[in-house]
Every structure is written in structure tokens, then in C-alpha cells.
Amino acid sequence: MKRIATGLACALFATASFAKCATTMPVAQEVKDSQVIIIGTVSSSRQVPQSWDTLDGIDYVVHIDQKVKGKQSGEITIFSEHSEDGFNLQDGKQYLLFLTNNYQHWVVNKCGNSGTLDDRSDVIKQMIKLAGNND
């Protein structure tokens, strides 16, 4: 019985983690759930091989242009695994990024509202409206 339960749990986790996003997380929820929110420019990237504690992926070094939430300043390294859950960034582009810390790595929720600054003006407007409602 224990093996069956473990097998089902693994199957459900795998299905959930590799599923495509059905909907985007509401902005208010992602603002609340994110540990760090920044506007930043990708300055470099490097391949990260698989190790005992992490999958293979890419580390992006992002210069923090503006801090929205959190204490980070200067630069932050964001990890994106090579899977459907990964969130790819491009060197030189500026992004609005909602970040959480996952096993010592800052990561972006693929089903969230992160994206290039040019494409996220609607999200920024919603964030400004949310901030105005907190007064």
C-alpha cells in the first residue's frame, strides 16, 4: 500500500510540475507570494551542469535596475532549469521579475506575470493600482 501511495504521489507531482500553464497567476496573488520583485536587465548567462542538488540549467546574472519588493540590490542570479518549468531570459533585455527562492536558487514562476518590461505594462498598472489600495 505504501508503494502505491508513493507511486501515485510521484505521478501527480510529475504531472503538475511538467504541465503547461492553464492560466496565469493573478497579479495580486503573485505580488503577495513573491519574495522579491524587481525590474532588471540581464547582464550575462552561463550553463549550469546537473549536480547532486540541482538539475542542469542556466544561471542568469541580472542587474537590479529598480527594486519593487525585497532587500536585494546590485545584482541577483536567477536559475532556470532545462525543462518546461524553466523561464528563459535574454542577455541585454530588461524584465519585470517576480522571484521566489527554491533550494538556494532564485527562480521565476513560469505561470506568473514575469516578462520583458515592454510586454508587462498592464501588470505594472495593476501593481500600481494594488499599491494605491493599500493606503
Cα–Cα distance measured from residue 124 to residue 135, given in angstroms and rounded to the nearest whole number: 18
Q: DSSP letters of 12-77?
A: HHHHHHHSPPSSPPPHHHHHHH-SEEEEEEEEEEEEE--BTTB-SEEEEEEEEEEEEESS--SEEE
Closest C-alpha to 72, from 38, 49, 104, 95: 38
CATH number 2.40.50.120 is the correct assignment for the domain at 22-132: yes
Structural domain boundaries in the chain: 22-132
pLDDT of residue 4: 43
Whether pTM > 0.85 for this model: the answer is: no
Q: Which residues of the chain have pLDDT under 50?
A: 1-18
